Amino acid sequence: ICSSALSFILVLLFLSESWGQRLNTDNKKPSCDHCNQQLFCNCSHSGFTSVPTVTGSALSLDLSFNKITAVMNDDLTGHMQLKVLDLHGNGLAEIHPSAFDSLWSLEQLDLSYNQLTMLNHKWFSKLEALQQLNLLNNPYSYLGSPPVFGALVRLRKLALGGPSLKELRRGDLSGVTQLEELTVHANNLTSYDAGTLAHIWPLGHVTLSLHGPFLTNVTLAGSMIDDVSYPETPIILKDINLNGVQSVQPFSKAAKRRIRYLTLHNVSVSDEAIVDFLVVLDGVPLTKLTIEDVTLMGEGWWGKASQTDHRSIDEFYIRNLVILDVYKFTSLLQLGFLLEYPRRVSVINAKVFVMPCLTSHLLKNLQYLDLSDNLLTDLTLEETLCGTTQTLKDIRVLNFSGNALKSLSTVSRLVTKFSKLTHLDISRTGYSFMPSSCPWPSTLRFLNISGAKFTAITPCLPQTLEVLDLSNNNLKDFTLLLPVLRELYLSGNKFLRLPSGLSFPNLQTLTIQSNTLNMFGKTDLQSYQRLDNLQAGQNKFVCSCDFVSFVQLELREGGGIQLTDGVDSYICDYPFYLHGQPVDQVRLSVVMCHQVLFVSVSCGLALFVATLLSVVLWRIHAFWYLKMIWAWLKTKRNSRQRQQRRDKADTEALISFDAFVSYSERDAGWVENFLVPELEEPRSTSHRPLTLCLHKRDFLPGQWIVDNIMNAIERSRRTVFILSENFVQSDWCRYELDFSHFWLFDGQATGEAAILILLEPLSKDDVPKRFYKLRKLMSSTTYLEWPQEEEKREEFWRSLRNALRGNDN
C-alpha cells in the first residue's frame, strides 16, 4: 500500500511539473515588431500559429496569411487604439466570444478566407465603431441567430457569403440600416427570403455573385436583384451564365426599378440572351453598361432587338472580351440603334484589329473612345478613323494605347481633323522616331506617349499641350519650348539632370522618378517659375552636402516646392557608406560639408603649432643639434670609410698630437700660462715634451669647425676637457663638447680617451642634463682637480703627464 501511494504521488508530481512547464511555454507568446512610424504593423506571411504580441499603441495590425487557427479572449487585450485588424487567409476556426471586446476603436475587420463554420453575434457586440467587415469565403451555411450585425450601427461596408452559404433569412441583417458597399457571394444559395436586403437604404454599391441561382432558380436571383435595385445604386452581377430567355428574367425586376448603372462581371452570353436582355431593358433609363471578362458564344445576330429604345445609355464599357467563333462574328452595322446614342465607348483588350469606317459613322454622339490593348496597326487605324473623311466630329478623347502603332506622323495626321480633340493617349506603342514636325489639332491639351522608344524630342510636339507624359522612354534631354505646359511626366528615362525650367514657364508639376539623376539643388529649380509639385525619387542620388541640405531643409520643411512622392523615396546611392539610407535621415560631418573652412582652420592651426614649435626648438637649440647630428653622421661615415682603407700602421702614423684640449675662452689664460708651458716646455729634462692641439693655434682657417674638431680628435690620442663654470656656460664650449660627445662615447672611443680637469669645484649636477654621457663619465671616472695650493701642483702635473702618456710610459 505504501509503495502504491508513493508511486501515485510521484505521478502527480510529474504531471503537475509537466503541466506547469506547458503553461509556462504557452505564456511565452511570439512577438512582432514590424511596425512603421505610422504605427502600422505588418505581421503577415510570418508563420505565426497564435496572435503575436504587438505594441499596444498600434493603429493597424495585419496578421493575414499566417497559421492562426484560434483567437483567445486575451490575445488582443490592450489594443484600445487599434483601428484596422486583418486576419484573412489564416485557417481561423475558433474565436472566443469576447476576443474583440477591448477593440473599442476598431473600424476595419477582415475575417475572410478562413474556416469559420458559424458566426457569433458576441464577436461584434462591443465594436460600435466598426465601419468595414469582411466575412467572405468561410464555410458557414447561414448567418445565425440572433442577428450578428445588430450592434454595428456605424457599419458602412459589408462583405459576406461564400461557397457554403445556403440560405439568407429575413432579419439576418437586422441592425444594418445603410451601406456604402454590400458584397454577397451566393453562388450556391438555395433559399432566400424576399426582402432580406430590401431594408438597407441608402445603398451605395452592390456586388452579387449568383452563378447557381441564375442556372437553377431565377426567381431567387430575381428577388435578390429586386431587393437591391435603386436608380442611384450601381449593381455588379458576377459569375453568371446568360444562355436563353429564362436566364434573363431576373433583370426584369431591376428594369422596373429603373436602375441606371449595371455591371456584368465574368459572364458568358449567347445571341438569344443578348437580344432578350436588350428587350428586358427596353426603355429603362440605363446610363452606363459595363461588361468585364465576357465570353460571347454567338455570332453577333442581335438585329431582332433593333426596335428597342436605349437612347438613355451614355456609356458602354467592355473589357476582356472573348469571341468563341470570331470568324463567324458579323459586323456591328446592324447595331445602329445602340451605337448612335452613347457618348463614351470603351472596348479594351478585345482583340479588335479594326473598326470599319461605316461603324465609326454610326457613333454620331461619341466624345470618348477607348480602344486600348487591342491589335490596331497604322493601316487599320486609318480605316477606323476614316482617313481624312469627316467622322466622329464631337470626339474629345481618344485612347489607342497598347496597340501595334509605329508611325507618329500617321496618327498626328489622322487626328488633325478632330477640331474638338483635347486628350490623346498613344502610350505603350512601338514609336521610336519623332519627326521634325507634325500636324495636330489646335485644341489638343493632353498627350500621353509613354512606354515608347523615343531617344530625342523634336518640335513635332504641339505647342498647345498642358499635360505631357513621356515616361518610360529613352530620353536624356528635353529642350523644347512648351509655353503653356502645366504637367510634365518624365519618369523611367535616362535624364542625368533636371531639364531647364526656361522651356516650361508655366510648369506646376514635374515627375522625373527612376532616371539617372545624381542630384539637384536650388539653382536647378530656380528656372522653374511656377513649379510647386516635384516627384524625383527612386534615382541614384549622390548624397553630397548641398543635396542633403537642400532636401532636408528647403524641400522637406515647407519650401516653395513640395516633394509629393515623399522623402522616403529619396535614397542615397553614393558614397558607399551611405548606400541605401534615406536622404532625410543622413547626417554628414562638418569635415565633409565645410571642407574649405575645415582646411583653412586646420592649416591655420597647423601653422600656429609649427611656428610655436619652431620657436621652442630654436630656444632649446634643437636645430643646431640636428645639424650637429647630421654632420657627425656624415663625418663618422667618412671616418669609417677612411678607417677601412688604413691598417694599424697607417693609423699610428696619423696621430699628430698627444691631446686635444677643449676649454672655454675665459679659461684661455690658465691654458696658455700654465697648461701649455708645463706640458710642451717642461722645466725638467726628465719630462718628455707633449704636443697639444689648441683650437686657436692648430685649427685650419676657413675650414668648417666641425671638420676641425673631428680632425683634431682623430689626430689626438687623448681629449682633455678643462671644466669650469665658464665651460658649462659657454655656448661655444657647449657646442664643442656636444659634438665631441658623439665621437668620444659612440662605442669606438672609451672613457680612457677623455681626461677631465676641474679648474674649480664642480659637481656633476652642475653639468647640463643633455650632456648625460659626460655626467655619467664624471660619476664613473677619476678626474683631476687644479689645486689652489702651490705645493700640490707638482703632484697635479705628474698625474696629468701619466694620464696623457698612458701605455706609452
**447 pLDDT tier (thresholds 50, 70, 90):** very high
The neighbouring-strand residues paired with 370 are: 346, 399
Tens digits of residue pLDDT in 357-415: 999 999 999 999 999 999 999 999 999 999 888 899 999 999 999 999 999 999 999 99
Please enumerate in sequence order all residues whose Cβ is within 8 A of that of 621, keeping only pairs 6 or more positions apart, or say none. none
The torsion angles phi and psi of 511, rounded to 5 degrees, stand at -115, 120
Please enumerate in sequence order all residues whose Cβ is within 8 A of that of 336, keeping only pairs 6 or more positions apart, or say none. 306, 362
Helix/strand/coil (H, E, C) string of 638-649? HHHHHHHCCCHH
Nine-digit cell at 374?
Answer: 487591342
What distances in angstroms separate CA 324 from CA 222, 292, 297, 351, 468, one per listed residue?
Answer: 28, 16, 6, 12, 39
Nearest Cα residue to 428 out of 379, 481, 374:
374
**279 pLDDT tier (thresholds 50, 70, 90):** very high
- Grouping H, G, I as helix, E, B as strand and the rest as coil, residue 291 is strand
Mean pLDDT score, 80-89: 95
Nine-digit cell at 749?
Answer: 672611443
Nine-digit cell at 535?
Answer: 516627384
Q: Interhelix angle for 622-644 vs 731-744, to 10°?
A: 40
Q: Which residue has the higher pLDDT, 516 or 768?
A: 516
Give the percent of the chain with pLDDT over 90. Answer: 54
Bridging pattern class, strands 397-399 and 368-370: parallel
Nearest Cα residue to 803 out of 752, 764, 758:
752
405 with 385: CB under 8 angstroms? no
The torsion angles phi and psi of 68, rounded to 5 degrees, stand at -85, 110
Rounded distance, CA 738 to CA 253, Å? 123
Q: Which residue has the higher pLDDT, 565 or 152?
A: 152
Please enumerate in sequence order all residues whose Cβ is within 8 A of that of 776, keeping only pairs 6 or more positions apart, or say none. none
Tens digits of residue pLDDT in 734-765: 666 666 655 555 545 444 677 888 888 877 77
Rounded distance, CA 158 to CA 142, Å? 16
Mean pLDDT score, 174-184: 94
**Helix ranges, 447-514 (H):** none
The neighbouring-strand residues paired with 754 are: 719
Cβ atoms within 10 Å, residue 363: 21
Which of 172-176, 433-437, 565-569, 740-744 has the least mean pLDDT?
740-744
Tens digits of residue pLDDT in 526-559: 899 999 999 999 999 999 888 888 888 765 555 5
Mean pLDDT score, 201-215: 91
DSSP state letter for 203: B
Nine-digit cell at 521?
Answer: 539643388
Cβ atoms within 10 Å, residue 394: 15
Nine-digit cell at 425?
Answer: 493617349
Nine-digit cell at 588?
Answer: 554628414
